[in-house]
Amino acid sequence: MTTINSKAILITFMIGAFFAILNETLLNIALTELMQVFNVDAPTVQWLATGFMLVMGVLMPISALLIQWFTTRQMFIGVMSVFLLGTIIAACAINFPMLLTGRMIQAVGTGLLIPVIMNALLLLYRPEVRGKIMGTFGLVIMFAPAIGPTLSGVIVDFLGWRWLFITVLPFAVFSILFALKYLQNVGEVTRPGVDVYSIILSSIGIGGIVYGFSAAGEEEAGFTSVKIIVIIAVSVISVVLFVLRQLKLKEPLLDVRVFQYKSYTRGVTIFVIVIMAMFASEIVMPMYLQGPLGYSAKAAGLLLLPGALLNGLMSPTMGSLFDKYGPRKLIIPGTLTLVGVMIFFSFINPETPIWLFVLVYIILMLSISAIMMPAQTNGLNELPKHLYPHGTAIANTLQPVAGALGVSIFVSIMTQSQAGYIEGQSGVITERIFHNAMTYGVHHAYWFALVLAAIAFFISLFIRKAIAPDFEKTELEN
């Protein structure tokens, strides 16, 4: 049996993933400057973020097929090369369409990269050590987007927006060269049949849902907009047709039968709820800090940074604890803590001490690190090998969907409650009334989050340690 250098493969994956995922949030703080540079409005420039997430959502279901058609080396080097091409185009952009094109090409690489890596890690490592390995990889997934906005602010202030892409270029090239030398193939190429109708249905369904819920926040009418209702309705119908078609196919594009495995279903459900809470909090909390609490955008980002960094740094530790104690001793306390945090945020007000606010946000992010990776890893552990590509693809597809859903619902609840509060006031709308209205809206948003957290806690009570049914030990070079 060929000896596999698992450490070299893991390092290769982490280098490539760090800069690809970092790129997701690296552009956010630069959006205001890009509006001025390219003379575009806010809804237009927002496509640099919304479009990125949309492309990732569309491509992730297809990743299960591509993983079975190409070798690990071909997939990793291929998607990193695509990411590199998009980065070069964006760095050289002379107008907004060119910048958006580069950004969308980057999204192709990023969207396909994570499922490829997670599938390979499942094949490489035994179930009893997967928690630590997934936690180590989770450090990259959490740490990169956490430092993205802060790093972006420094680069834009001192070097200009183009350097957001130029800085990434040498690392992307290094990642490809490192992979050419050290990356080995993991798993087998089976080349299943390609069902074009499944690809079309998944693209319309997933893409439409991500776009519909993202666009709902930009529409004045929100979810009552006819355009949004039609988009979401068509998308949901497409997803239903897609699922029904997968159940009939001998070689489905995305095998939804993974949901027959209870640990996987419970883990993914908790994962989706936590993603919704995390994405929404990362949007709502900065808005509240900059509104009633009166902090600048950069100050708000710095106040939330400790929690985001700890979330990433604790991921390997949580993974090791998962390997040692199993999922229940992490996920149950984690979801219970999440419930407590949501109760706190549903009562915050402008008089809340900032140190307490930051402390509770840190607790929120620590609870998320205790839930996310253990829940996802435990669920994947239950699947047989041939379902690894499908299990990872579904979990990663649900991430942008849950993120868009969470942000849209939270922001809609907040803004509608805020508007209702203001309408109920008589006389001149002062700044104090406006801040009270936003506080009122945030409370309502977190009441909804509290319900989600309670559901996650209830599901966690039924979590059991899952064992892979057919895992064969791979000969590894440690």
Q: Do domains 1-191 and 257-471 have the same CATH topology?
A: yes
**Residue 375: which of 463, 307, 462, 280 has the closest Cα?**
463
What is the reported pLDDT for 88? 93
Under 8 Å between Cβ of 435 and 418: no
Burial of residue 320 (CB within 10 Å: 0-12, 13-18, 19+) is middle
The C-alpha atoms of residue 84 and residue 46 are separated, in whole angstroms, by: 22
**Residue 180 to residues 12, 83, 185, 442, 475: CA-CA distances in angstroms?**
10, 16, 11, 49, 21
| Class (C level, CATH) for 1-191 | mainly alpha
What is the reported pLDDT for 222? 64
Tokens 């309705």, residue located: 233
Residue ranges per structural domain of the chain: 1-191, 194-250, 257-471
Instruction: Write the DSSP symbol of residue 476.
Output: B
β-bridge mates for residue 83, sequence order: none
The answer for residues whose C-beta is within 8 angstroms of residue 146's C-beta and 6 or more apart is 305, 308, 309, 311, 312
Under 8 Å between Cβ of 368 and 315: no
Under 8 Å between Cβ of 89 and 101: yes
The answer for residues whose C-beta is within 8 angstroms of residue 463's C-beta and 6 or more apart is 263, 266, 267, 270, 327, 328, 331, 332, 375, 378
User: 257-471 falls under which CATH superfamily?
Assistant: MFS general substrate transporter like domains (1.20.1250.20)
Please report, in tens digits, the pLDDT of each residue of the chain (478 residues total): 445 667 777 777 787 778 777 777 677 667 767 878 888 876 677 778 777 777 877 887 777 778 778 887 888 888 889 999 999 999 998 998 899 999 889 888 888 888 887 777 777 777 777 777 777 777 777 777 666 666 776 777 778 788 888 888 888 888 888 888 777 777 677 777 777 888 888 888 888 887 887 777 666 666 677 888 898 899 899 989 988 888 888 888 778 888 888 888 998 899 888 888 777 676 777 777 777 877 776 677 677 778 877 877 887 888 888 888 888 889 999 999 999 999 998 888 888 888 888 898 889 888 888 888 888 888 888 888 778 778 888 887 787 777 777 777 777 788 778 878 888 777 677 777 878 888 888 888 889 889 999 999 999 999 888 666 655 444 444 3
- Rg of the chain, C-alpha, whole Å: 22
Task: Specify the amino acid at residue 455.
Answer: I
